[in-house]
Amino acid sequence: MTLLFVLGIQNQIQKCQFLIVIIILKEVLGIINILSTSLQSKTATLGKARNVVNGVIQSFICLRSDDEFSKLWSTVVELAEKHNILLEIPHIGLF
């Protein structure tokens, strides 16, 4: 690996977008892991599978709430401060 390559990776990791994606992926993959483990169980049945799938769907629906977004954003801010990552929040407006 060249120094330029390493610096490029470091530059990408220190961006707000990277931090947000990592936090969301952690949450989503945690939920998907529960589903995956359940479906691979030797004692899995169609009834149990249906219940787990419905639970995963409900979990994703809950993640889309304002409260969950606030928790996610608090985590982003906390980690950004801890790792000295500048939160670049674009201004969206008419002027």
Q: Please say if the pLDDT value at position 42 is more than 90.
A: yes
pLDDT digits (tens, 9 = 90+) for 3-30: 777 777 777 777 778 888 999 999 999 9
pTM of the model: 0.73
Distance CA 30, CA 7 (A): 30
Please report which confidence band the pLDDT of residue 93 belongs to, taking 50, 70 and 90 as the band edges: low
Region 37-66 average pLDDT: 95
φ, ψ for residue 79, nearest 5 deg: -70, -35
